[in-house]
Amino acid sequence: MTKSILVINGPNLNLLGTREPEIYGIATLDDIKDSMIGKAAPLGLSIDFRQTNAEGEIVNWIQEARENHQAIIINAGALTHTSVAIMDALLAVNTPSVEVHLSNIFKREEFRHHSYISPAAVGMITGFGAIGYLMAIEAIDNILN
Ligand code: DQA
């Protein structure tokens, strides 16, 4: 049976490709989505790829994942550093999650060094650009098998 991964992208990630490309790269969110689908298919994994600028929507999606998805990949954008609500949602569901960041958050401003997602995730991939999302699929494949 195909297993489904919910990929959640938070605020401002809809602007990828034009947003501070020296930090976040030139790949658009659609490019990342296409490459993830291509990587996941031969592994028997399907990708449900989403983006929102709204914190509550992310919380709703994580709660839904309980029923509909076997794993979560999440780049919560700036909400990484602020959202107790997203951490609590991830802790509430029994769905393994992998945290992704395009940039290396530990090389950047101090306020980006803390993540509320990390305590609820299996692990974090940070600093490898768009490839990090593909690395997260490999991690999920290992976790699920
Ligand atoms: C980000 C890092 C965050 O600090 C920032 O607010 C983002 C993107 C990343 O992918 O590198 O929006 O999550």
Q: Is 101 a catalytic residue?
A: yes
Give the ligand 1 atom nearest the CA of 100: 10
pLDDT at 85: 98
Rounded distance from Cα 85 to ligand 1 centre (Å)? 18
Q: Any catalytic annotation for residue 81?
A: no
Query: Ligand 1 centre from 103 Cα, in Å?
Result: 7
User: Which numbered atom of ligand 1 lies nearest the CA of 24?
Assistant: 11
d(CA 135, CA 109): 24
Give the CATH number of domain 3-144; options: 3.40.50.300, 3.40.50.9100, 3.40.50.720, 3.30.110.30.
Answer: 3.40.50.9100
Domain spans, the chain: 3-144
pTM over 0.85: yes
115 lines ligand 1 (CB under 6 A): no
As a whole number of angstroms, the distance between CA 109 and CA 107 comes to 7
52 DSSP 8-state letter: -
pLDDT by residue, tens only, the chain of 145 residues: 799 999 999 999 999 999 999 999 999 999 999 999 999 999 999 999 999 999 999 999 999 999 999 999 999 999 999 999 999 999 999 899 999 999 999 999 999 999 999 999 999 999 999 999 999 999 999 999 9
